[in-house]
Structure 1
Amino acid sequence: MLVLAMLLAMPPLALAAAAPRIGVMTMQPGEVFFERFGHDAIVVVDPDSGEAVSYNFGFFDPSEPDFLSRFIRGEMMYHLVALPATQDLAQYQAAGRGVSMQWLDLEPDQARALAALLAERARPENSRYRYDYFTANCATQVRDALDTAMGGALKAQLAGRSRGNTYRSEAVRLASPAPWMWLGFDLGLGPYADRALSRWEEAFVPMRLADSLREARNRQGRPLVQSEQELLPHLVAPEPVEAPRRWWPWLLAGLSLAAAIFAARRRPRLLAGFALPLWLLCGLAGALLVFLWGFTAHQAGWANRNLFLLSPLCLLLLPGGIALLRRRVPGRLFRPLLWAVAAIAMLGWILQWLSLQPQYNLSWIALLLPVHVALALALGRRSR
């Protein structure tokens, strides 16, 4: 940690300015699921003592009595904590996560205003904020604090530009090393997550914010980032790279499953053994999507069109599937429900092309629509 302390030390030129030195630390993604998206913090170096304080917006208290219910409802509270920069870095060093520092070229009055703002925000009575993964997280808080100190100049430079990234593309990309995590994001996000983001909005990802800071300018027109330093090397898996998402492999898988289902149409017990876990998963997932839309503040999950594919009606098919598994005739509602599930999935495909605000779920349509239709064709006839 001695090397880190030396790297954080104030140079003589900055001392002469008699203003705090401001830096943005960017932490690379870790291996634990809540570390997948990276992190960042603002470092303020005192001009007199040389003490480096890290203002970290990423703290929460799981021991709060209502923590779990707030997490489920999308009302989780995070905290801003001020701590010595070397202490903040120690946890990332232990995890093997790389950390870089961007020293900013702010005007003295802006640096002092930012230091005062952060010190006030870090007071216990002011430190809490309502967390939102996309719009109010550790990176957006850093972004907003910098923009406030710069009088809105940072947002003015970033808000009108876009690289075409979306909340979904960034979330799925960064979560891709954990299959269950990217699956949850891709199925759980609605059309809100599929609009193209400005550079300002995509700064919810700490690494994207660091990229944008490199291109920003200060009040005098000079580059905002004065210099960069690597404080810690990155020793674990690197950040996932961008890659195009293709839907045709999902279509091949869906058509193959549909062909296998139709080929086994004379073996209802075999089909029931395949369909029962599928219906259970689809029904439970659909019920969860309904809950996210109707009973939580998770705006990114509202109006999710994956409900057309993951219909809660699938749960009503379970008794009929069990009857087939036991060589019995399903009830009268079984066949209409089969076709209702297939028809709803078909409607979701049609809306994909007619909607003015599309949702990127063509891969799931390509996979699940052929399966729902094939099950209706195969088991719908057998149920008579």
Structure 2
Amino acid sequence: MLSCFFSNFATNMKKGLLYIVLTVLLSVVNITAGAQSMNNNDSIQISLLTCSPGKEVWAQYGHTAIRYYDKEKGLDLAINYGIFSLDQTYFIPRFVLGMTDYRMGIQAMDDFLAQYSYEGRGVVEQVLNLSPKDKDVIYEALQENMKPENVVYRYNYFFDNCTTRARDMIVNHLHGRVVYPPAKPDATFRSMIHEWNYKDKWSQFGEDLLLGVNADRKTTKSEQQFLPENLRIDFDKATYNGKPLVKQTNELLPAETTEAEPSSLLSPIFVAFLFATISIIITLFSYRKQRVYWLWDAVLMLTSGLIGIILFIMIFSQHPCVSLNFIIFFFNPLPLFFLYPTVKRKKTLWWKIWGILIIIGLLGRFIQEIPVPIIIVASFLLLHCIVHLRISKSVTTVK
């Protein structure tokens, strides 16, 4: 009995010692594996890349991408959310209607830098101050985004573009603990893009022509980050878990410095004053001779109607800042319907209708920023309507 007890005790002791040894060994293995994994993660850098503006219209606001750099594996990639092709079917109509699809693209970092070096554009890297767990989560999110069913997205210039996509891929996987500096109090979408397109007067004019009331409302911090440089500045000043979000900033490519080109003589404001001069001359002749010139009427109505077709189409665009636009009261498709009777000297109410519409459009100036050249043109169109009505009334009185 006693020998049996000691025999069982010895057996249990052996089992217990074996269990303890195995537990210690497994703990050492787990610690070693965890340390190795942490070391691997420490060799990984995730960065925000901000690219300076290019010469093309679509590149004049800059660009944003993500860099994933694994030093140990020699993996260095640029993740880019600004891939599109002008060869897409009906690209221009789809872009106008806000139905353009962009893609996520991945390329070697050397190729990415070579492309921007060729274009003379600078690239600034902000290495992010992330934990190994953060890097794992972002890496898994990038892998999910790389799946064929996830790479395409519906592009929206202000609300869902290459910059906001890169930001969301990073910040949305940091548990909402990123703190930014305060938003600019009076910044609107229009005022922010004016900071970047002021050198290209025709580009600025074209955008101002299409942008409506919603482009002039105050924006939130998140909305202000649609511009690459705004996001770069915010990341530079942001904190994450109480520490700076950016660990290190590197200039990977310097931007080529080019002298500002002189403004073209044929600027929007010059064209507007030219129109005003011609309009004054024709108005004086019309008023003095008490007659209207059908050819000038036709030019004004045809031009206004064709521009109006574009503005009318924009009402149905998915771009949220173009649907409500007071400029459509100046230029709309209605003149095209009154063109034939006007040329044939048939009596119409068109000049009274157009005059009322122009007044409504001018009142819209209080809630929408309308370009000065448009205001000048609209004012002289209103003057033309008034002269038409006065001459028509004089002729009727004489009869």
TM-score interval (norm. to shorter): 0.7 to 0.9
Residue deviations 1:176-234 (CA, integer Å, cap 9, x gap): 44443222210111111111122321111111111111110121x22212221111121
CA contact (8 A) 1:22 1:111 kept: yes
**Alpha carbons of 1:264 and 1:331: their partners in 2 closer, same or farther (altered >3 Å)?**
same
Q: State the match for 2:359 in structure 1.
A: 346
Q: 2: CA distance between counterparts of 1:238 and 1:148?
A: 40
Residue identity over aligned pairs, in percent, reads 27
Q: 2: CA distance between counterparts of 1:53 and 1:339?
A: 63
Q: For residue 237 of structure 1, report the CA deviation from its aligned partner.
A: 4.5
Q: For residue 378 of structure 1, report the CA deviation from its aligned partner.
A: 2.5
Q: Tell whether 2:170 aligns with 1:146.
A: yes
Q: 2: CA distance between counterparts of 1:302 and 1:162?
A: 25
CA contact (8 A) 1:188 1:289 kept: yes
**Alpha carbons of 1:214 and 1:36: their partners in 2 closer, same or farther (altered >3 Å)?**
same
Q: 2: CA distance between counterparts of 1:303 and 1:364?
A: 20
Q: Which runs of 5+ in 2 are unaligned?
A: 1-37, 262-268
Residue deviations 1:233-281 (CA, integer Å, cap 9, x gap): 21254899xxxxxxx9999999877654543333689965555444323
Q: 1:279 aligns with which of 276, 284, 301?
A: 301
Q: Tell whether 2:96 aligns with 1:81.
A: no
Residue deviations 1:78-125 (CA, integer Å, cap 9, x gap): 111111111112111111111111111122211221122112212322
CA contact (8 A) 1:23 1:43 kept: yes
**Alpha carbons of 1:85 and 1:366: their partners in 2 closer, same or farther (altered >3 Å)?**
same
CA contact (8 A) 1:59 1:81 kept: yes
TM-score (norm 1): 0.80
CA contact (8 A) 1:187 1:306 kept: yes
Q: 2:82 aligns with which of 29, 41, 58?
A: 58
**1:1-384, aligned counterparts within 5 Å?**
18=42, 20-65=44-89, 67-154=91-178, 157=180, 161-219=183-241, 221-235=242-256, 237=258, 259-265=280-286, 266=288, 274-293=296-315, 295-316=316-337, 318-319=339-340, 323=343, 330-333=345-348, 336-353=349-366, 358-361=367-370, 363=372, 366-383=375-392, 384=395
**Alpha carbons of 1:187 and 1:55: their partners in 2 closer, same or farther (altered >3 Å)?**
same
Q: 1: CA distance between counterparts of 2:173 and 2:295?
A: 62
**Alpha carbons of 1:340 and 1:15: their partners in 2 closer, same or farther (altered >3 Å)?**
same
Tell me which amino acid in the other structure corresponds to 2:102.
Answer: Y
SS in 1 for 2:50: strand
**Alpha carbons of 1:286 and 1:66: their partners in 2 closer, same or farther (altered >3 Å)?**
closer
> 24-33 or 172-181, which moves further after superposition?
172-181
CA contact (8 A) 2:341 2:347 kept: no
> 104-113 or 66-75, which moves further after superposition?
66-75
Q: 2: CA distance between counterparts of 1:36 and 1:270?
A: 45
SS in 2 for 1:161: coil
Q: For residue 175 of structure 1, report the CA deviation from its aligned partner.
A: 3.3
Q: 2: CA distance between counterparts of 1:136 and 1:56?
A: 14
> 82-91 or 264-273, which moves further after superposition?
264-273
Q: For residue 364 of structure 1, report the CA deviation from its aligned partner.
A: 5.6
SS in 1 for 2:225: helix
**Alpha carbons of 1:320 and 1:238: their partners in 2 closer, same or farther (altered >3 Å)?**
farther
Q: 1: CA distance between counterparts of 2:289 and 2:302?
A: 20
CA contact (8 A) 1:257 1:371 kept: no
TM-score (norm 2): 0.77
Aligned-pair Cα RMSD in Å: 3.2
CA contact (8 A) 1:99 1:234 kept: yes
Q: Which runs of 5+ in 1 are unaligned?
A: 1-13, 241-247, 324-328
Tell me which amino acid in the other structure corresponds to 1:218.
Answer: Y
Q: For residue 34 of structure 1, report the CA deviation from its aligned partner.
A: 1.6
Structure 1 or 2, whichever has the larger Rg, is 2
Q: Number of aligned residue pairs: give it.
A: 348
**Alpha carbons of 1:176 and 1:161: their partners in 2 closer, same or farther (altered >3 Å)?**
closer
Q: For residue 67 of structure 1, report the CA deviation from its aligned partner.
A: 4.4
Q: For residue 25 of structure 1, report the CA deviation from its aligned partner.
A: 1.1
Q: 1: CA distance between counterparts of 2:278 and 2:217?
A: 32
Q: State the match for 1:6 in structure 2.
A: none
> 255-264 or 35-44, which moves further after superposition?
255-264
